[in-house]
Amino acid sequence: LLVAIAGPSFVLAVVTVFYAAATFVTFLLPPAPPVTLEPGIARRAIHEPVRQLREGFEAIGGNREVGRPLVHLAAAASLVGVIAVLGPNLATSLGLDPTNLIVVVLPLGLGVVAGVIGLRRYGVGVSRRRAGEIGLIVFGSLAIAIALAAALSAATGTSVIPLVVVFAFSAGAAYAATIVSAQTGMFESMDAAVRGRVFGVLASIVSAASLVPLLVAGPLADATSGPAVIAFAAVCVSGVAGWSRRR
């Protein structure tokens, strides 16, 4: 929305101000107690993160109820990354100016909020695993529907924006159900002693899962089309969810 109103340079300036404000706020936190440095602390500072990351992977490998939601989170993040990087292409296929992508993004964001609220109100007693799997399948299916609608609009010139808005809102709700259920299930299943290590692995895997599609989606979209790449990524994500559900 800010890009459409004031341009990308203004948005970058706003983001910079937010980072500066966040940095300033950290100085208001209470100071940590003094730490006594032991001999060899510099050498351990290099090896300790590597050791803890390795222990986190070992904890995930030995616990399917931790590893499965981690796969759900990585799959959802990868599909979100593809949709994000191909958003302008998707807008063009729908007959919109790329700066008007807010037409799709706003319903998606509102859907995420609605999904969180709905899961909190109506998800009591629902299996975390099943909620995450079903949410991921629905998210992938709706992403396929959005891609097909965009391809239809580009091929025939038919306006499908109202339909895409509905799909985007529902996809946002399904995405929220997936990530909330997966994170909650993982938190409940993991041993408290390795919780920090597992969340460190989570951050690494989700970042990698988001980065790879960003690097691949653009060239693939140039060779084919944006909706085709989104549909392919959504099919892969739905396949991951289906595999998880069968197991």
pLDDT 10s digit of each residue in the chain, 247 long? 787 788 889 999 999 999 999 999 999 988 877 766 566 555 555 666 666 666 666 666 666 667 788 888 888 888 888 888 888 888 888 888 887 888 888 999 999 999 999 888 887 777 887 888 888 999 999 999 999 999 898 888 888 999 999 999 999 999 999 999 888 887 777 766 666 667 777 777 777 777 777 788 888 888 888 888 899 889 988 888 888 777 6
Q: What are the tens digits of pLDDT across the range 38-59?
A: 665 555 556 666 666 666 666 6
Nearest Cα to 201, choosing from 96, 95, 76, 69? 69
Cα 27 from Cα 212, distance rounded (Å): 35
Helix axes 64-85, 195-223, angle to 10 degrees: 30
Alpha helices in 190-225 (DSSP H): 195-223
Cα 62 from Cα 59, distance rounded (Å): 5
In the DSSP assignment, the letter for residue 1 is -
Cα 93 from Cα 90, distance rounded (Å): 5
Written as one letter, the residue type at 209 is A
The helix (run of H) or strand (run of E) holding residue 154 is: helix 128-156
Cα 18 from Cα 14, distance rounded (Å): 6
Residue appearing with tokens 């993982």: 186
Read off the pTM.
Answer: 0.76
Cα 157 from Cα 196, distance rounded (Å): 51
